[in-house]
């Protein structure tokens, strides 16, 4: 008797709209969550590329104005007013010589 009552309740839930409404809600919530996470990763990638391009542009501007690339990143920060969030990004700047474009890498610090 108990089994038949439980079986009837399960059958009612499956055929009723409540079960499918819950399934659809969970599906939509998961889809939105994954979409937001993917958008956040794309945004970080764009910010890294933008910062790398900015550092490169400032180094080229220094070369154009002074005739040589700066030896370190501090020179760009002091003389060319380069600004970035050092708590979120690490900028690796390696000078290859006064007449060669430096190696520039940008890394995002999570957390």
Is-above-0.85 flag for pTM? no
Residue 84: Cβ within 10 Å count: 17
Taking alpha carbons only, the member of 53, 51, 59, 49 closest to residue 95 is 59
Give alpha helix (H) positions in 16-102.
Answer: 17-66, 73-79
Q: Give residue-wise pLDDT tens across range 22-59.
A: 777 677 777 776 666 665 666 888 899 999 999 999 99
**Would you state the pLDDT for residue 57?**
95
């Amino acid at each position: 008797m108990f089994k038949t009552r439980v079986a009837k309740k399960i059958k009612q839930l499956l055929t009723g709209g409540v079960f499918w409404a819950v399934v659809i809600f969970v599906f939509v919530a998961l889809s939105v969550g994954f979409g937001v996470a993917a958008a956040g990763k794309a945004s970080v990638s764009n910010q890294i590329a933008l910062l790398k391009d900015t550092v490169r542009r400032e180094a080229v501007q220094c070369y154009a104005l002074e005739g040589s690339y700066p030896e370190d990143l501090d020179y760009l920060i002091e003389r060319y007013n380069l600004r970035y969030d050092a708590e979120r990004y690490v900028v690796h700047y390696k000078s290859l010589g006064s007449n060669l474009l430096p190696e520039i890498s940008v890394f995002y610090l999570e957390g």
